[in-house]
Structure 1
Amino acid sequence: MGDEPLAISIDSAPEAAPGSRPRRITCRLCGRPLTGSDSRRTGLGPTCDAKLHPPGPEIRTRRHEMEQDTLPGMDPSATG
């Protein structure tokens, strides 16, 4: 039994027959069929992907100082 070849190759994936349609891949969250290549790769449709990975808040890259009133108790001229 140790010298007998395996009936199937473990390393190779099953090949599709010529003329057959590609395997149907569905969304892991809602089960709808996926058509886009990015969606098929991630396993999530665009709507479900947005639900799981919402966009981050807008981050302002430029900051500027604004005139403000001094906080009570923080007046540098007061001694005390």
Structure 2
Amino acid sequence: MGDEPLAIAIDSSEAGPRLVRCRLCGRPLTGADSRRTGLGPTCDAKLHPPAPDIRSRRHEVEQDTLPGIDQAP
């Protein structure tokens, strides 16, 4: 082996982005995030639903008055 660098022929017709399909439904993925995760936005939302909003679950609870606190008439 000499000090010559290895020559690799690259055909420009093959150098396009490869087709990546959704792992759940099989549709082609186009977005960078979708291609990275392997799931389309619809399938990702099915598998990872957003967390419920805790603020919507709050409700008023009847409580006894604390001793030593005067109530307004």
Alignment partner for residue 45 of structure 1, among 40, 43, 66? 40
Q: What's the offset of the Cα at 1:19?
A: 3.7
Which residues in structure 2 correspond to 1:1-80 (within 5 Å)? 17-20=11-14, 21-60=16-55, 66=60, 68=62
Aligned pair count reads 53
CA distance in 2, matches of 1:25, 1:31: 9
Alignment-mate amino acid for residue 12 of structure 2: P
TM-aligned CA distance change 1:56 to 1:22, over 3 Å? same
- CA-based RMSD of the aligned residues comes to 2.8
Runs of at least 5 residues in structure 2 that lack an aligned partner in the other structure: 1-9, 65-73
Bigger proportion of residues as helix: 2
SS at match of 2:43: helix
CA distance in 2, matches of 1:67, 1:33: 51
Compute the TM-score of the two structures, normalised by the length of structure 2.
0.59
